[in-house]
Structure 1
Amino acid sequence: MPDKDYDALLEAMTLEEQVSLLSGASFWRTAAIERLGVAPVKLTDGPNGARGEDFSGGIRSAAYPVGIALAATWAPSLVEEAAADLAREARSKGARVLLGPTVNMHRNPLNGRNFECFSEDPTLASAMAVAYVRGVQSQGVGATIKHFIGNECEHERRTTSSQIDETTLREIYLPPFEAAVKEARVACVMTAYNALNGVHTSQNHWLLEDVLRGEWGFDGVVMSDWTATHSTAEGLLAGLDLEMPGPTVHRGAKLIAAARDDAALAGAVRRSARRILALADRVGAGEQDDLDTERAEDRPETRALIRRLGAEAAVLLKNDDRQLPLDPARLSRVAVIGPNSAKAVMFGGGSAQINAHYSVSPLQGLRQALPGVEITHAIGCPGDRYLPLLDQPVEIRFFEGVTMQGDPVLVKQGETSEFRWFGPVAPEVDHLAFSARLATTYEAPETGAYEIGLMSAGTSRLYVDGVLVLDAWNGWSRGQSYFGHGSDERRTVLHMQAGRRYEITLDYACGDGLTTTLKAVRFGLRPPSAKGSLEEAVALAKEADAVIVVAGLNDSWETEAEDRASLALPEPQDALIEAVLAANPATTVVIQSGSPVQMPWADRARSILQLWYPGQECGHALADVLTGRAEPGGRLPQSFPAGPEGLEGVMQRPDRGASVPYDEGSFIGYRGFLRRGDRPAFPFGHGLGYADIRFGESRVSATPEGASVEVVLQNHSDRPGQEVVQIYLRGAEDNACWLRAFRKLRLQPGERGEVRLDLTRRDFSRWSEEDGEWREMVGPVEILIGRSVEVIHNTHMVDLAGSKHCFAMSQTAGSETLR
């Protein structure tokens, strides 16, 4: 619709109607104006799957690899393909806008949301952001890049201010957003919870108007993160178009009254309303849209794509003696061990969680991949932060008011012993004041001491056979669960007898002021044998031809609104890995996490595979890589430190209301390691393959835009493989090193290939805060060509003389470590 039609439409609106467009009508929908044919737009989380409107349970959806896994592919074309498929998932939920991608930087390795983000490097993150946005928007769905900006810490994210100087912003944190706007014309930008330099990002005029719209030319919608609007007039005048979620807190009648007497504010209302109208047209929102019907579309092509993505993202960190891939012909017995071995850990926690169509565990995947091999299994040790949910039907009855009196207003069946509601629960339920009773019958599989746990956002109490065993009702207190709205888990131990059926009931209430935005309750139960046995694991390992240990984190350890407390694996996983390695050297350690973990046993492990959270095809993707059906295609998008030394500043948990100083400036990740002279456990860009691909000669030549780098590679093995050519620049000024270009190349056995990568003048520049613009680096610049930031094969010197590039064609052959 051309601008003149928007003008006519806006003229036909009352001020009240214009204002109604500037906040959500509900948690996931914008407002409609039926008399003028203005349709609502439905939004959905999130970056690794389209959940729909139900925050817990709900219609099933495809679970894709998380953001860090997508970035680990170093393959923008593949990420674009995945994002296009994800957009089709969004359409199946009736949504026109997807709340992703998340492009905050991996500054803090303990950030609870690192799994959702791409990288510590702005060049890699920018390439992934552009690919993701293009893929989503190729299907007519609007992408929402988030969180703008400085949300690199989840702990106290709502109360802290990220203190970032402009040079650091321009060089590290702004580039993915800038690229998404300029190169992919992203539809929406979501502001962050935190403040930037003392001003909330949702009302930061410099950020939203001067930079985003003024410099970059953004013409889409700026929305707040959920409940992160803090003012009526200030946010709107600063450029915040849409307050989410609805119903409004800061706009509505407040904004109408203010705009009647303020021409500038009324003009801002009109501009933002225009942008909401333009978004609805851009994504094809119409009056006939069926927003209530959500479909579960389990497509074969999506299954195959997710499986391929999982293998492309897997990073082979170590492979001494070519222990991998496994040769099925030489195997009679394989032991699969570890807390993540018999369950599929698909994604992290928070808004990234979805109700997946299905899940394939590592144990299932290996059993299918090795049909002629005996597969033994042991948990070894627990890995859950909270006691496991009951995976069986649980009835829930909802009551009006908080005392569970009268007849229930709604009865539903859940698939597990957890219920979460973000916003409305159901039309029949007053989500501001309701109570519920959960009930199920549990048949004990064995005799012994069972652990049982309870936690809730709201008050709760749990009964077994009518006896109160856990009380989070009297003396309820806020803990770390459920985005900081819930209590910590309360536990007890009960003796149960095998074969006996136990009636478990739970009372829950919300409405006493403890929580109104997010309501949740869960109970977990663990039989004695589910704790695992170190002795059993070691015994199986000793008898096996090969051992696969699958350890790591999960969605309770890495989650939105909370940061991890340590780089270490949860106890006692390190002890399990050490014991299994001692029992059988033919052990491969597989780590699932969305961020780095310490590996004190790494020197003793022959092979280590970083699997990330690869989505619903978890076990199949793992089996493909371990058996050599697929190449481990991943390279690290984040440095893996050996320990916390040197990172104490960025990992410090801020106090409530504190400033978070980004004192390290642009030297996060690998730049920080190089500056400090520290050696990470595994460097940025690192990853091994099964093929023997070697770097050959390289050439550098000047172009009108900057420079062109050509690199020759050859596959010297009898199997196909791939390598990622990485181009870094190192300036003489402060010895800073920057990834500026990369390309993944696939080669058949014996094949020789050539990669050409172009560098722009911006690539040879650093931000000058004094001049307020990009300036070319002073002095000679090294062009470093390698397979990681540490393993450099060829170097060229570039002398930046005036406005022209003069190239010294010196080349260093062979490999070196960049230090």
Structure 2
Amino acid sequence: MTEDRAEQAEQPNTNGNSEQPWRDTSRAPRERAELLVGAMTIEQKIAQLHGAMETINIYNIELPEDLSEAADQFRVQRHVAGIEELGIPRFRITNGPVGVGMGDGYPSPSATSLPMTIALAAGFDPKLAHEYGDIIGSETATLGQHVLEGPGLCLHRTITAGRNFEYFSEDPYLSGIMGIEVTKAIQAHDIIAMAKHFVLNDQELERFRTSVEIDEHVLRELYLLPFEMVVKDADLAAMMSAYNRIRSVYASEYRHTLTDILRGEWGFEGYVQSDFWSARSAAPSLNAGLDHEMPDANWYNEENILRALEDTSLEIETVDRALVRRFTQMFRFGQFERTYAPGEIDAKAHGARAREIGAQTAVLLRNDGLLPLDPNMPTIAIIGQQKFAAEACLGGGGSSKVDPLYTVPPLEGMQDVLAGLGSEAKVELFTVADDLSNLEDARMVASGADAVVIMAGVVASEGEDMAEPLLPNNQNRMVAELLTANPATVVVLKDSNPVLLPWIDDARAVLEVWNQGTEDGHVVADLVFGVVTPSGKLPTTYPRDAKDTLHAAHPERYPGTDEGDGYPVIRYTEGLGMGYRWFQSQGIEPLFGFGYGLSYTTFDVANVKVDALGGVRSRVTVTATVTNTGDRAGAEVVQVYVGIPADGQPPKRLVGFRKVHLEPCEQQTVSIVIDPESSNHPFGVWDYRAHAFVDVEGDYTVYVGTSAADTPHAFPVTSTSNA
């Protein structure tokens, strides 16, 4: 079918008829899907099992250096071809999860470039996550797409992982809570949300080859947990399989996760799509639970499927099952009835929302009173390399990168905000060469200004991990030397990942704003001049030294070793000791820990109480009174952790949090309920014999505070009822 005819096929079909009963919108989505599949020929079925890009062998293809040609193919062919005679529309898929990325259409649709997912997690606010997902879902619908490939739910096991910017945090509970809200908001727009990458795609290095070896309890309690939460609590419509092997079997063929756990235990009723080229077979992957191949028919083509059906390594019922799963979700969201009529995004309105989100995600790491800067000082210098000081830092290298509707660079953003404050301050931008050849000139500019804002950072990318957790292009030297040029110097970090900060002891003020996207310039200026008070908390730990990380001197943990099978094997031998759990279990003090973040105001958390009369087998309620004791409006995050009385468990795990916004001198009592029946199993450990989460005998400890390290309120809770 030609492209024009395929477009014509995308017309509303709401009236059922005796010949095509699946068009009857009064029928249940699954019934409609079964009726449709029952009417399809084998050729039509196979055509719907895969995307419509011309087959590319990714292992042999020579892609251009800038990937522009390959990217154009992704943009124009990110879809499944429609079938006019059956009323099946062209199925349009766009990447995420940091905005509408590479979508179907040429050129790829422009959209709002949002702060990276790691930044959203730093907001520690489910309402913020819902707002974020609402923007994405709205824009995906406006652009006529059907699927948004996001949220990303893998964990920050290593701080150098290339896709950490797409994932929320090192903590499964925080990742799950934020992922639930993003998913709900996307799907409220009748868009299929697709969580990814299922599972253990926690590194990009050798992602097509690596096998991950992991104990079952570690898999369950950490890496599967955010996926479980989103499946159970957000009614997730689709899942994307990962590239890596799991226990020597490719994730796209691993029945234990794709079927036994995902469907058998969690009750998932959506469909599973391969990551681009992550399918490695026809019959084995379909039998394991992979339902849809993207972006082409490298495996799910007529030759392979028909041969497998003939030799009975594949049954037609399995093919039907895969199609019914996807069509059910399309019918669920009314996508067969939707006319393709892409509209125009309200760039200004969505940009304003992105600005508000971004300001709430920044983390104030250090401040001796320098911040916020006085907007009425005569001269301010912005200094840094091109990508961070002269341009809006969009971030997100790889297929999830958003083509922005507009951007606000740092200089223009600062000038706008100062003008809004009635300031006549002169702002100068000095761009430092990537090779630091003009660093001495930068020092002279810094010494002559009344205040200096250094902008530095890292933009990580899909497809590669950072070699080490350092700012690229020798920016650490740049920062260190500029800090000596002017005592009124603020360091603004724009990072995709946590990095080492060797100059930290010489810095008076350090603000982590992450890769902000479209509204970068406004967000940074709002924060630097105190229009907004920073309220973010670190979603991932910043180590003092690379030797403190879980894989230092442990190549078997990362990057893996060849154990004789010809591919790298990564062993998660650290067990449950990952992220802040690693640092606490090893007694290592990080530079800045999980949940940490300062403010321009101060808070007092008092009257902390824990109601746990029923022990951990009943709901535990934590209450606390939070008071803003400073002279600025701001927000604090009350965090609740639990210590589990079992061997191998880390000292603490996050089980609850609440962000509270307060005016000066305002007081509010917050209540956080920890439900043992909730999808994150807050008090549970994986029991191999019971094949389930159970609570163990002994004395648990509930910790309450404002970061993983700062929990001054501790309460014992028993595992059995006191009644």
| 1:96-155 Cα distance to aligned partner (Å, 9 max, x none) | 110011111000111011111000001100001101100100111110000000101101
1:133 to 172, 175, 183: 183
> Which amino acid letter does the alignment assign opposite residue 115 of structure 1?
F
| 1:306-354 Cα distance to aligned partner (Å, 9 max, x none) | 101111111000111x21111223x111111111111111122001212
Answering whether residue 543 of structure 2 is matched by residue 618 of structure 1, we say no
Answering whether residue 598 of structure 2 is matched by residue 551 of structure 1, we say no
Matches of 2:706 and 2:207, distance apart in 1: 36
> Which amino acid letter does the alignment assign opposite residue 691 of structure 1?
T
Residue 799 (structure 1) shift: 2.1
Is the 2:104–2:145 Cα contact (8 Å) retained in structure 1?
no
Matches of 1:121 and 1:744, distance apart in 2: 17
Residue 651 (structure 1) shift: 4.5
Q: After the TM superposition, which of the residue ranges 204-213 and 789-798 deviates more from structure 2?
A: 789-798
Is the 2:283–2:314 Cα contact (8 Å) retained in structure 1?
no
Matches of 1:105 and 1:590, distance apart in 2: 25
Q: Where does residue 458 of structure 1 map in the other structure? A: none
Answering whether residue 667 of structure 2 is matched by residue 640 of structure 1, we say no
Matches of 1:38 and 1:250, distance apart in 2: 19
Answering whether residue 602 of structure 2 is matched by residue 602 of structure 1, we say no
1:327 to 370, 374, 379: 374
Residue 261 (structure 1) shift: 5.5
Residue 604 (structure 1) shift: 1.0
2:642 to 723, 729, 742: 729
Relative to structure 1, the CA distance from residue 653 to residue 113 in structure 2 (aligned partners, 3 Å threshold; closer, same or farther) is farther
Answering whether residue 132 of structure 2 is matched by residue 82 of structure 1, we say yes
Matches of 2:658 and 2:584, distance apart in 1: 23
2:608 to 698, 703, 713: 698
Q: After the TM superposition, which of the residue ranges 691-700 and 615-624 deviates more from structure 2?
A: 691-700
Matches of 1:651 and 1:159, distance apart in 2: 14
> Which amino acid letter does the alignment assign opposite residue 197 of structure 1?
R
Answering whether residue 656 of structure 2 is matched by residue 746 of structure 1, we say no
SS of equivalent residue, structure 2 residue 200: coil
Q: Which has the higher helix share?
A: 2
| 1:478-534 Cα distance to aligned partner (Å, 9 max, x none) | xxxxxxxxxxxxxxxxxxxxxxxxxxxxxxxxxxxxxxxxxxxxxxxxxxxxx6621
Q: Where does residue 96 of structure 1 map in the other structure? A: 146
- Structure 1 unmatched runs, 5+: 384-530, 807-819
SS of equivalent residue, structure 1 residue 712: strand
Q: Which has the higher strand share?
A: 1
Residue 54 (structure 1) shift: 6.5
1:314 to 362, 366, 386: 362
Q: Where does residue 376 of structure 1 map in the other structure? A: 428
Q: Where does residue 388 of structure 1 map in the other structure? A: none
1:36 to 83, 86, 103: 86
SS of equivalent residue, structure 2 residue 212: strand
1:658 to 568, 575, 584: 568
1:668 to 578, 587, 602: 578
Residue 296 (structure 1) shift: 4.9
> Which amino acid letter does the alignment assign opposite residue 757 of structure 1?
I
Matches of 1:361 and 1:6, distance apart in 2: 48
Matches of 1:160 and 1:263, distance apart in 2: 26
Matches of 2:539 and 2:184, distance apart in 1: 21
Say what the alpha-carbon RMSD is for the aligned residues: 2.0
Q: Where does residue 817 of structure 1 map in the other structure? A: none
Q: What's the TM-score once normalised by structure 1's chain length?
A: 0.77
Relative to structure 1, the CA distance from residue 599 to residue 52 in structure 2 (aligned partners, 3 Å threshold; closer, same or farther) is closer
SS of equivalent residue, structure 2 residue 79: coil
Q: What's the TM-score once normalised by structure 2's chain length?
A: 0.87
Is the 1:57–1:355 Cα contact (8 Å) retained in structure 2?
no
Q: Where does residue 47 of structure 2 map in the other structure? A: 20
Matches of 2:586 and 2:106, distance apart in 1: 45
SS of equivalent residue, structure 1 residue 328: coil
Is the 2:458–2:497 Cα contact (8 Å) retained in structure 1?
no
Q: Where does residue 767 of structure 1 map in the other structure? A: 686
Relative to structure 1, the CA distance from residue 570 to residue 787 in structure 2 (aligned partners, 3 Å threshold; closer, same or farther) is same
1:717 to 630, 633, 638: 630
> Which amino acid letter does the alignment assign opposite residue 559 of structure 2?
Q
Is the 1:379–1:532 Cα contact (8 Å) retained in structure 2?
no
Residue 220 (structure 1) shift: 0.4
Answering whether residue 546 of structure 2 is matched by residue 630 of structure 1, we say no
Is the 1:162–1:659 Cα contact (8 Å) retained in structure 2?
yes
Residue 169 (structure 1) shift: 0.7
Q: Where does residue 473 of structure 1 map in the other structure? A: none
Relative to structure 1, the CA distance from residue 277 to residue 796 in structure 2 (aligned partners, 3 Å threshold; closer, same or farther) is same
1:366 to 414, 417, 425: 414
| 1:766-786 Cα distance to aligned partner (Å, 9 max, x none) | 112243211213321111111
Matches of 1:251 and 1:764, distance apart in 2: 47
Matches of 1:179 and 1:610, distance apart in 2: 28
Residue 248 (structure 1) shift: 4.2
Matches of 1:360 and 1:210, distance apart in 2: 48
Answering whether residue 717 of structure 2 is matched by residue 798 of structure 1, we say yes
Matches of 1:54 and 1:135, distance apart in 2: 21
Q: Where does residue 113 of structure 2 map in the other structure? A: 63
Is the 1:209–1:239 Cα contact (8 Å) retained in structure 2?
yes
Relative to structure 1, the CA distance from residue 537 to residue 204 in structure 2 (aligned partners, 3 Å threshold; closer, same or farther) is same
Residue 263 (structure 1) shift: 9.1
Answering whether residue 264 of structure 2 is matched by residue 188 of structure 1, we say no
SS of equivalent residue, structure 2 residue 712: strand
Matches of 1:644 and 1:55, distance apart in 2: 43
Is the 2:49–2:300 Cα contact (8 Å) retained in structure 1?
no
1:536 to 416, 437, 441: 441
> Which amino acid letter does the alignment assign opposite residue 60 of structure 1?
S
SS of equivalent residue, structure 1 residue 257: helix
Larger radius of gyration: 1
Matches of 1:582 and 1:25, distance apart in 2: 57
Matches of 2:31 and 2:365, distance apart in 1: 58
SS of equivalent residue, structure 2 residue 713: strand
Is the 2:110–2:404 Cα contact (8 Å) retained in structure 1?
yes
Is the 1:96–1:285 Cα contact (8 Å) retained in structure 2?
yes
> Which amino acid letter does the alignment assign opposite residue 639 of structure 1?
T
Q: Where does residue 526 of structure 1 map in the other structure? A: none
> Which amino acid letter does the alignment assign opposite residue 783 of structure 1?
V
Q: Identity across aligned pairs (percent)?
A: 35
| Pairing of 1:286-297 with structure 2 (within 5 A) | 286=336, 289-290=339-340, 295-297=343-345
Relative to structure 1, the CA distance from residue 654 to residue 64 in structure 2 (aligned partners, 3 Å threshold; closer, same or farther) is farther
> Which amino acid letter does the alignment assign opposite residue 431 of structure 2?
I
Residue 52 (structure 1) shift: 4.6
Q: Where does residue 293 of structure 2 map in the other structure? A: 243
> Which amino acid letter does the alignment assign opposite residue 655 of structure 2?
R
Residue 253 (structure 1) shift: 2.9
Is the 2:50–2:293 Cα contact (8 Å) retained in structure 1?
yes
Residue 570 (structure 1) shift: 1.9
Is the 1:695–1:714 Cα contact (8 Å) retained in structure 2?
yes
How many matched pairs?
650
Answering whether residue 266 of structure 2 is matched by residue 201 of structure 1, we say no
| 1:521-573 Cα distance to aligned partner (Å, 9 max, x none) | xxxxxxxxxx662112111221222111001112xxx1111000011222421
Is the 1:137–1:143 Cα contact (8 Å) retained in structure 2?
yes
Q: Where does residue 509 of structure 1 map in the other structure? A: none
Matches of 2:109 and 2:320, distance apart in 1: 37
1:776 to 681, 691, 695: 695
Q: Where does residue 336 of structure 1 map in the other structure? A: 382
Matches of 2:41 and 2:316, distance apart in 1: 11
Residue 30 (structure 1) shift: 2.1
> Which amino acid letter does the alignment assign opposite residue 375 of structure 2?
P
Is the 1:611–1:622 Cα contact (8 Å) retained in structure 2?
yes
Relative to structure 1, the CA distance from residue 216 to residue 565 in structure 2 (aligned partners, 3 Å threshold; closer, same or farther) is same
